[in-house]
């Protein structure tokens, strides 16, 4: 049954290697980590956790590539990555050198046979997936930090930022609620082929995301950091071993299960949080006490 898939574990070789080094998500300075997590919007320290996550996830992916596909594949991926990063950095200031680097990257790709090129492509695809997970987690992290720094202006696109502009424009609480009642957001669940990502891949992404959140739970012991790192490595290994897309056309029942899975995976938790955030935004901007029952229904789902 979906949702009861056993979670993979890191290989003994991987576990042994992790025990021989410091955790990638360091636990040596908890106060510094806390300062980064709670940094204000104008504090440069706020970006350090994201850089740490991306760097650490990249290191773990590299170790998985060596273990699962060999050092040659890892070195090819790294060579391409370095060339393309340098090409990007030189693009605006040194177009001629940038063009030479781009040709070098194309030559590297052209020299690969089909099977090897597929694995290189898959390695980059997983890297970008991991980077996206890190960036999503960082947005959540910054939202939590923003809630701490109530003295700073909220983001313009947030609920609180929007309500503040409405209040400054002279719109009362009653009229703001009436305006909210006129809004209806309807996310739509679509069937194959617009959603090609397999549920097993979504599960693995979700597990990595949860481990990244666990690494922000301070105080963090070294044992907990190592456990999270081991779990992330196991999921990256599983991603590498999993086909990205379906090998056969899904049935109608498959599509129904895929649609219903989102309720268990995210919606039962996310939807109440959305309404709770709206209530809190009204409270902080307009004062007084609102409850969830005072809000109109503005979020529905379609298929």
pLDDT of 1 reads 32
Mean pLDDT of 249-260: 79
Pure H helices in the chain: 12-19, 30-37, 48-69, 71-90, 95-110, 114-148, 159-168, 173-181, 199-214, 222-241, 252-262, 268-286
- Sorted by sequence, the CB contacts under 8 Å of residue 47 that are 6+ apart come out as none
CA nearest to 105, candidates 127, 90, 93:
90
CA nearest to 206, candidates 300, 269, 164, 281:
269
Average pLDDT over the chain reads 88
Q: What whole-number distance in Å separates Cα of residue 58 and Cα of residue 81?
A: 11
Mean pLDDT of 213-235: 94
Q: Does residue 8 surpass a pLDDT of 70?
A: no
Where do the structural domains in the chain lie, given as residue ranges? Answer: 12-294
Mean pLDDT of 142-151: 81
Mean pLDDT of 53-65: 96
Q: What whole-number distance in Å separates Cα of residue 204 and Cα of residue 242?
A: 10
pLDDT of 4 reads 40
CA nearest to 149, candidates 269, 263, 46:
46
pLDDT of 267 reads 87
pLDDT band at 13 (very low <50, low <70, confident <90, very high): low
The tokens describing 302, both together, are 């379609």
Q: Does residue 26 surpass a pLDDT of 80?
A: yes
Local structure of 134: helix, strand or coil: helix
pLDDT band at 275 (very low <50, low <70, confident <90, very high): very high
Q: What whole-number distance in Å separates Cα of residue 60 and Cα of residue 240?
A: 12
Local structure of 11: helix, strand or coil: coil
For 205, list phi and psi in degrees, rounded to 5.
-60, -45
pLDDT of 195 reads 58
Q: Does residue 294 surpass a pLDDT of 60?
A: yes
C-beta separation of 255 from 191 below 8 A: yes
């Amino acid at each position: 049954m979906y949702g009861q898939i056993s979670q993979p574990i890191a290989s003994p070789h991987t576990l042994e290697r992790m025990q021989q080094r410091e955790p990638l998500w360091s636990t040596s300075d908890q106060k510094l980590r806390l300062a980064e997590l709670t940094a204000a919007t104008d504090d440069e320290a706020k970006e350090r956790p994201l850089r740490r996550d991306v760097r650490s996830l990249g290191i773990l992916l590299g170790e998985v590539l060596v273990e699962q596909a060999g050092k040659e594949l890892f070195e090819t991926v790294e060579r391409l990555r370095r060339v393309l990063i340098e090409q990007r950095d030189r693009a605006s200031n040194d177009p001629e050198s940038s063009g030479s680097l781009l040709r070098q990257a194309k030559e590297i790709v052209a020299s690969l046979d089909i099977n090897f090129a597929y694995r290189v492509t898959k390695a980059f695809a997983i890297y970008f997936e991991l980077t996206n997970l890190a960036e999503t987690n960082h947005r959540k992290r910054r939202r939590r930090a923003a809630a701490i720094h109530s003295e700073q202006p909220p983001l313009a696109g947030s609920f609180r930022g929007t309500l503040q502009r409405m209040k400054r424009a002279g719109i009362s609480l009653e009229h703001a609620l009436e305006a909210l009642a006129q809004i209806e957001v309807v996310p739509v669940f679509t069937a194959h082929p617009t959603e090609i990502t397999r549920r097993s891949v979504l599960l693995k992404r979700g597990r990595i995301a949860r481990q990244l959140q666990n690494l922000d739970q301070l105080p963090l012991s070294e044992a907990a950091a190592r456990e999270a790192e081991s779990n992330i490595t196991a999921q990256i290994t599983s991603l590498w071993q999993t086909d990205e897309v379906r090998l056969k056309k899904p049935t109608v029942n498959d599509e129904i299960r895929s649609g219903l899975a989102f309720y268990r995976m995210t919606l039962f938790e996310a939807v109440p949080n959305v309404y709770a955030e709206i209530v809190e935004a009204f409270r902080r901007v307009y004062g007084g006490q609102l409850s969830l029952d005072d809000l109109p229904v503005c979020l529905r789902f379609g298929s």
